[in-house]
Structure 1
Amino acid sequence: MRTAQSRHKSYADRHRRPLEFQEEEHVFLRVTPTTGVGRALKSKKLTLKKYIADPSHIIGPDNIQLKGNFIFGVPPISIANRTTKHLGGKKILLVKVIWNQTIGDATWELEEKMI
């Protein structure tokens, strides 16, 4: 049994490399996408990768005006597409709303909410 465990460990260790990080260092984290309530599609551990600082990666905060209840409104740029979804015998009208064209931020919203 120990021989088999030792052999398995030696095969697994070939694909591993020791990583050490210091405080205040930045790393990239890769996590698996989830669906439903916290259920992962495929079970994987976090994958760490060292980050080399680059000043061009820093994104400044936008100047956002908040209301009293901490809600802010972003006006839509345009409506890109329309579709009808059939669910349980009902027809649901959806529109694809472009919120920010430079970063490609778009979502499908109910048509009745956009009018």
Structure 2
Amino acid sequence: MKTAHSRHKSYTDQQRRDLEFAVGDHVFVKVAPMKGVMRFGKKGKLSPRFIGPSEILVRVGTLAYRVALPMNLAGVHNVFHVLMLRKYMSNTSHVLNYEPLQLTPNLSFEERPTQILDRQERKLRNKVIHMVKVK
């Protein structure tokens, strides 16, 4: 039993990342995608895994940090475990374009089409499928 435990511990120790952030650092916050829910402009598996960058305000305990979230995420608790954060490496060529979104309390929003760009018909053996490209 002890040998199995030590082998398991050696495997997990290789994958462990000792992360530590300072106050004022910028980080990305991990979000979990939900099926069928529109999050930050994308739906399903194409929705972003991390949002941000956000600034760290204060360290809470040994493994938690309080993060400054945007105003549209005011309903979300702002203390995150260190494993939910990823360091933001600043780059001078990286320009952030921030578009404010109107989010509902469950962090989703309604997507409305603005323009029809293209129409096509795909013909199969027994039926015709109409395809529309929407902006």
Query: Do these two structures clear the TM 0.5 threshold for a shared fold by scoring above it?
Result: no
TM-score by length of 2: 0.37
Higher RCO by CA contacts (8 Å cutoff, separation 6 or greater): 2
